Amino acid sequence: MSNGFNLVALQDLESRLGYAFQNIELLEQALTHRSFGPVHNERLEYLGDAILGMIIAKRLYDLFPKSPEGDLTRMRSTLVRETMLAEIAREYGIGNCLRLGPGELKTGGARRQSLIADAVESIIGAMFIDTHEDYPRVRSVVLSWFKQRLATIHPGEEQKDHKSTLQEHLQGLHHPLPQYRITNISGSDNDQLFEVEVKIEGLPSFSGKGSSRRRAEQEAAGNALTYIKDHPLKPKRK
């Protein structure tokens, strides 16, 4: 095996994903961040992104034959956006299998939303190559990951991001708007990691990390929404 990987861990991941690689080195590459070395997963991510978009687009096209293009586009964007892919990565334990450079390890890269979401796309690209471009087989595996999400998404519903959802929720309860601030920026100029904190009146602060300020703010807002779901806010008087 290549440096930094455990065969049993990779086999366990394959079992969870529902696909066993013929060439295990493709899976290794899909799980390798560019901070680790020159052979990394960015090209596989590029390929996987395109394949994922096609798979989801066609599935929505089949599921909703009467939906207009706008609804289909919004639903596809919801299903393939970073937050959704990160959820899938967490469900399958992909972050625990990533191979990262020292800097990424130190800053918790294995838990960072943008990084683990990218790894999902990389794995899809790796599967496509490993199957010798067997699109139906890759489609079957990928759709199994999205089965529950496809069953619960509906056309005509506005698909909002975490920041918009949080803001509208607070406004509906007549609470002050959330306040975001950057707490730290690390990394090189072309590979920065932003850390952001969001403060909401009456609640603890919530943090988020991302390769841009926007991504970090989205993650922080998502963490706040998760907390609020378990600890509902009471409406304020006007």
Q: Which residues are CB-contacts of 69 (< 8 A; sequence separation ≥ 6)?
A: none
Backbone angles phi, psi at 133, to 5 degrees: 65, 40
More confident site: 6 or 161: 6
Confidence of residue 72 (pLDDT cuts 50, 70, 90): very high
Residue 15 has pLDDT above 90, yes or no: yes
Please state, as a whole number, how many other Cβ atoms lie within 10 Å of the Cβ of residue 97.
Answer: 22
149-157 mean pLDDT: 80
More confident site: 48 or 237: 48
Residue 133 appears among annotated catalytic residues = no
Point out the catalytic residue in the list 28, 45, 49, 219.
49
Confidence of residue 3 (pLDDT cuts 50, 70, 90): low
pLDDT at 159: 58
pLDDT at 148: 86
pLDDT at 192: 80
Residue 187 has pLDDT above 90, yes or no: no
Domains located in the chain, CATH noted: 7-152 (1.10.1520.10), 162-230 (3.30.160.20)
Look-up of token digits 């609470």: 175
6-27 mean pLDDT: 94
Residue 203 token pair: 């609640």
Across all residues in the chain, what is the average pLDDT? 89
Residue 49 appears among annotated catalytic residues = yes
6-30 mean pLDDT: 94
154-179 mean pLDDT: 83
37-43 mean pLDDT: 92
115-131 mean pLDDT: 97
Q: Which residues are CB-contacts of 10 (< 8 A; sequence separation ≥ 6)?
A: 1, 24, 27, 28, 97
Confidence of residue 46 (pLDDT cuts 50, 70, 90): very high
Please state, as a whole number, how many other Cβ atoms lie within 10 Å of the Cβ of residue 91.
Answer: 11
pTM: 0.68
pLDDT at 1: 41
Confidence of residue 153 (pLDDT cuts 50, 70, 90): confident
Residue 105 has pLDDT above 60, yes or no: yes
Point out the catalytic residue in the list 45, 82, 118, 121.
121
Residue 2 has pLDDT above 70, yes or no: no
pLDDT at 151: 86
Query: Do residues 109 and 98 touch, judged by C-beta distance below 8 A?
Result: yes
